[in-house]
Amino acid sequence: MTAHDRAGYEPAFRPLPLSEAASGLIAREKACGANNYDPLPVVLSRGAGSWLADIDGRRYLDLMSAYSAVSFGHAHPRIVAALVAQAQRLGVTSRAYHNDALPALLERLARLTRLDRVLPANGGAEAVETALKAARKWGHKVKGIPDGRAEIIACDGNFHGRTIAVIGLSTEPQYRDGFGPFPPGLSTIPYGDADALARAITPRTAAFLVEPIQGEGGIVVPPEGYLARCAEICREHRVLLICDEIQTGLGRTGRFLASEHDGVRPDAVILGKALGGGLLPVSALVGSNDLMQVFHPGDHGSTFGGNPLAAAVAIAALDVLEDEKLVARSAELGAWLLEELQDLRSPIVRDVRGRGLFVGIEVDARYIGARPVVDRLLARGILSKDTHGTVVRIAPPLNIAREDLAWAVGQIRATFREIERDLKRAA
């Protein structure tokens, strides 16, 4: 059997059998839930640190961290304690009133990002929408772009969420199929090509929205200096540089922000996922005074954004990040992980790339897709996820034990050897 013959071929493999209880829960979810996800066949019920357990007591090492939302591990005692203490005192008031928890979070995020003002929200997609609104209004009111003519540029392969505006910027056909019409003034350019940005900017361009490393795009790391050059181009043309750090922020890539690898301070940063400490949806748009001045009372709001419970949890998450020195740990452990995985030496692995504890293993689709690899890892007690059909993402909690990560590397090696053997038998 040639490589061409094996395209899309899945070697013989038997996943772990599901118990009657697990099968029943999955069936109930499918019967009443919208069919917008295709989860791995496991029903999780408990988690502590980097480990999860299913309803039958089988344990799994988490190498996904809920797309970086669980960067500090499951049920971190300090973050849980902060949640409980605040919930017992004051949970939600809406922003119709001040609360005594929010100011500390706003000050902390402004200091850590070296920016000026913070607009708190809930999920990452909401924060991205907030950024798009801010950029458009800045373009109209500050830069002088004619009303209704502001343009925003993003990159091919981006993932900024799935709202109507954002999928208008997406280049993934499935994300757009059937959801139009999309807002005008949205365009994309090749990722990693700063010259393409310079060519795309017009007098009506308000902002360039970019991920310092593309996550859902396949853990795509741009050329060195790319973001710094983009920042220069944006300054030259008076265009806002907005970095989506929802997945890459808070230490994931070995810096507090991934944009720091290029020494860049954007006009705005979008944070989310890890900011909620693995317990709550918490996000924020953090920006310069120049950008954030466009907001006035009534322009924008969020009932739950900036609630006391979310603020307390986010502060505890930031405390853990700093006190446990997890940024440095991500850099050190991530460099080791990348070196180990780049040594896989498997003919079905096309590339291993990443920064910090944010790594993608790209498989050769002529032999096998990424989802079958992920299924095999699940059977070995490892939780991961495929992206774009060809990349296995590895993004464990930043405080994962080194010995646990070393065990996972061994299981990954064994999985690829197993697939190679099955392919040879089938040839």
Could you write out the DSSP letters of every residue in 363-387? E-TTT--HHHHHHHHHHTTEE-EEE
User: What pLDDT shows up at residue 177?
Assistant: 93
What are 138-169's pLDDT values in tens digits?
999 999 999 999 999 999 999 999 999 999 99
Location of structure tokens 């950029």? 135
DSSP state at residue 255: S
* Domain co-membership, 183 together with 313: yes
- Beta bridge partners, 287, equal 117, 268
Per-residue pLDDT of the chain (427 residues; tens, 9 = 90+): 344 344 444 555 567 789 999 999 999 999 999 999 999 999 999 999 999 999 999 999 999 999 999 999 999 999 999 999 999 999 999 999 999 999 999 999 999 999 999 999 999 999 999 999 999 999 999 999 999 999 999 999 999 999 999 999 999 999 999 999 999 999 999 999 999 999 999 999 999 999 999 999 999 999 999 999 999 999 999 999 999 999 999 999 999 999 999 999 999 999 999 999 999 999 999 999 999 999 999 999 999 999 999 999 999 999 999 999 999 999 999 999 999 999 998 999 999 999 999 999 999 999 999 999 999 999 999 999 999 899 999 999 999 999 999 999 999 999 999 999 999 888 7
Nearest Cα to Cα of residue 283 among 307, 259, 300: 307
Q: Which pair of structure tokens corresponds to residue 213?
A: 């490393």
Residues 304 and 332 in one domain: no
Give me the CATH number covering residue 180. Answer: 3.40.640.10
Return d(Cα 74, Cα 269) in angstroms, integer.
Answer: 26
Q: Check whether residue 353 and residue 338 sit in a common domain.
A: yes
* Closest to 255 (Cα-Cα) out of 358, 377, 135, 361: 358
The CATH number that applies at residue 418 is: 3.90.1150.10
Q: Which positions are catalytic?
A: 159, 244, 273
Q: Which residues contact 9 (CB under 8 A, 6 or more apart)?
A: 1, 367, 368, 423, 426
Q: Would you state the pLDDT for residue 14?
A: 64
Residues 62 and 156 in one domain: no
Domain of residue 224, residue span: 77-323
- C-alpha closest to that of 152 among 220, 80, 242: 242
State the total domains in the chain.
Answer: 2
CB 294 within 8 A of CB 87: no
Last residue of a domain, one of 304, 323, 342: 323
Assess whether 119 and 64 both reside in one domain.
no
Residue 374 lies in a domain: no
Residues 251, 120 share a domain: yes
Token readout for 364 is 């050769």
Residues 206 and 289 in one domain: yes
Pair 89, 203 in one domain: yes
Q: What is the pLDDT of residue 13?
A: 59
- Whether 45 is covered by a domain: the verdict is yes
pLDDT at 2: 42
Instruction: Establish if 378 belongs to a structural domain.
Output: no
In a domain? residue 5: no
Q: 204, 376 in Cβ contact below 8 A?
A: no
The answer to the question of residue 382 being in a domain is no
d(CA 117, CA 101): 16
Looking at the structure, do residues 67 and 81 belong to the same domain, yes or no?
Answer: no
In this structure, are 97 and 55 located in the same domain? no
The pLDDT, as a whole number, for residue 247 is 97
pTM for the whole thing?
Answer: 0.94
Residue 8 covered by a domain: no
380 part of a folded domain: no
**Residue 64 covered by a domain:** yes
Same domain, 41 and 91: no
């013989």: which residue's tokens?
12
Q: What is the pLDDT of residue 6?
A: 42
Whether cis (ω within 30° of 0) applies to the bond prior to 17 is no
